[in-house]
Structure 1
Amino acid sequence: MEYSLAMTFVTTSGDKASLTITGVKNDISQAEVSSLMDTIIAKDIFLTKGGTLISKYGAQLTQRQTTKFNVQ
């Protein structure tokens, strides 16, 4: 199974901006997610239409399972 982490931030204009990372470990903790989001904000390397990322809004871990069929 594949896991992805979707993080939502508030920008300087008050809008929300999301960033998704795939290939995340399935047992990532809330503390690790919070720390990652703090680091992303502190490094200030992303610029969106609404400006820079200034605060955390939310995050969610999504699990995706793919089933392949042999139809030959």
Structure 2
Amino acid sequence: MEKTLDLYFLTEEGKTARLTVNDPKEDLTGSEIKAAMDQIVSSGVFFSTSGSFVSAKEARLVERNVVSIELE
């Protein structure tokens, strides 16, 4: 099963931007994720077409069951 951690941020224009982390650690807590998101915001490194990230909005752990099908 594939897992991703989707991090959603509000931008300067009030829009939502997303960063996706592949294969996140299994035992992450909400407070650890929030602290990391706050560091991302304060670093000012990430931005989108609607401006810099201004605050953490939401985080989602996404699990997908992916089955490759062999084509003959």
TM surpasses 0.5: yes
Kept in 2: contact 1:3–1:26 (CA 8 A) = no
2:65 paired residue number: 65
SS at match of 1:66: coil
- Deviation of residue 2 (structure 1)? 3.0
RMSD: 1.7
Residue 70 to residue 14, structure 1, CA distance change in 2 (3 Å): closer
Q: Calculate the TM-score normalised by the size of structure 2.
A: 0.84
Quick one: distance in 1 between partners of 2:47 and 2:17?
A: 10
Q: How many residues align?
A: 72
2:43 paired residue number: 43
Runs of at least 5 residues in structure 2 that lack an aligned partner in the other structure: none
Runs of at least 5 residues in structure 1 that lack an aligned partner in the other structure: none
Residue 69 to residue 11, structure 1, CA distance change in 2 (3 Å): closer
Quick one: distance in 2 between partners of 1:71 and 1:56?
A: 42
**Which aligned pairs between 1:1-72 and structure 2 lie closer than 5 A?**
1-67=1-67
One-letter amino acid of the structure 2 residue matched with residue 35 of structure 1: A
Residue 31 to residue 69, structure 1, CA distance change in 2 (3 Å): same
SS at match of 1:24: coil
SS at match of 2:14: coil
